[in-house]
Amino acid sequence: MNISEPDISSRLISSESLRQKLPTIFLDSMVVDLQFNINVISQNVLDFLEFTNEELAGKSINYLSREEDIAQLLQKALSAGYFEERQIGFYTKSNRLITIGISGFYLGLISDINGRIILKIRNIDEVQLINQQLQQKKAELDKFIYRAAHDLRGPLATMQGLLNLLRIREDNSELDRILQLLDAHAQKLDERLYHMVYLAQSDDEDNAPENSINFNVFETLLRKVIEQNAFVDFLEFHYSAPRENLKGVNEVLLKSLLTNLLLYLLSLPKSKLNNQIFFRLLVEQGELSITIGAHGFSVEDAMRKAMRQEEFIYTDMIHYPRLLNFFAAQKIAWKLNARMNVHFLSPEKQRISISIPVMDVQQMGLL
């Protein structure tokens, strides 16, 4: 009885299939043939190499390493069928040398059936940069915790001292005064703790449902915020956007963003006359653009410098409690993938510009 050889044609992987499927299956990868000629590279690797697949397809892997014979090195390493990560140097399209962690294995149990090798690529320089940034953030957080602890210990130490005075008092003649001081410092402690908790939780609604937005409701809310917190001489809302049924923006986060920015403005020292706030809302090209103008609200130079930072520094919250709501708004803007800029036109005049991407342009109902 003759047994025919199995047909393996259905198991072979075509070059076209490689180009279409493997970049999404094997992230952080480069697919090469048995001669270490490049077939296809996953997009995240192409991004830091600054090449396209078309530019590298068919080229030897040595093209990226210039003078070093990486192909021969990896061929020896693959004698066991795979090799663990080792570091090599690759040149980017802009001629920048980066350190790469590379490991590899044959695609399939028998290399000569598929004739492909998977190389896992890791940008060591990028990892080191991320670790460095994490260390910087940790140092900043440690600094904040240290300063915050000292800031909180002030009213706490005063309260403990007042309690000791209560214990050793000879009569009750000063009891009312001591209780007033205790209450005042307890309120200070509570206020500072509230600021810390408020900032930490300012963006905890990021998973809220994205309902359609009614700006008439928003306007009523913001007018009420002003009524409850301060008096302004002039308030105006101008719309170049649908007042109702705007979709594609997180309603809860947007409401929190605008409320915090308004509370920030209302917390600033005001001139005696002509305090003005205006809102401009515009929808175009898949973005909701909001401009908030304020006149008659003064911001000191040190606060302006803190606000110009790309990222808020936690310790600034202690130094400038008036910026609490601004920093909270900044966090919320990041959650909305929004761009937010503050322009100081004069010591008492500023303009806040916000651009928020509208996720579902098809349902926007533009005017």
Does 2 reside within a domain? no
351-to-249, 251, 281, 316, 340 alpha-carbon distances in Å: 22, 23, 13, 21, 11
Q: Which two tokens stand for residue 39?
A: 């077939």
Specify which residues 367 forms β-bridges with.
Answer: none
DSSP letters, 129-160, are HHHHHHHHHHHHHHHHHHHHHHHHHHHHHHHH
* Residue-range definition of the domain harbouring residue 193: 129-201
Taking alpha carbons only, the member of 299, 294, 307, 302 closest to residue 342 is: 307
Q: Verify that 118 and 139 share a domain, yes or no.
A: no
Q: Verify that 191 and 224 share a domain, yes or no.
A: no
Does 209 reside within a domain? no
Does 303 reside within a domain? yes
**pLDDT score at 207:** 47
**pLDDT score at 116:** 81
- Based on the structure, what is the number of domains in the chain? 3
**pLDDT score at 15:** 59
The residue to which tokens 């649908």 are assigned: 242
**pLDDT score at 351:** 92
Does 44 reside within a domain? yes
d(CA 41, CA 333): 34
d(CA 34, CA 31): 10
**pLDDT score at 206:** 47
Does 1 reside within a domain? no
Per-residue pLDDT tens listing for the chain (367 residues): 454 555 545 555 555 665 666 666 667 889 888 888 998 888 888 988 989 888 998 899 999 987 778 888 888 888 888 888 888 889 999 898 888 889 988 876 444 445 788 899 988 888 777 777 777 777 777 677 777 777 777 777 777 777 777 777 777 777 777 777 777 777 777 666 666 665 555 555 544 445 677 788 888 888 888 888 778 888 888 887 677 777 788 888 888 888 889 888 888 888 777 888 999 988 887 888 899 999 988 888 878 877 776 555 555 666 777 787 888 888 888 888 888 888 888 888 899 999 998 875 444 333 3
Does 208 reside within a domain? no
Of the candidates 174, 201, 228, which is a domain's last residue? 201
Strand stretches in 42-174, DSSP E: 82-91, 97-106, 116-123
Does 140 reside within a domain? yes
Query: Is there a contact between 276 and 232 (Cβ–Cβ < 8 Å)?
Result: yes
Query: Is there a contact between 213 and 246 (Cβ–Cβ < 8 Å)?
Result: yes
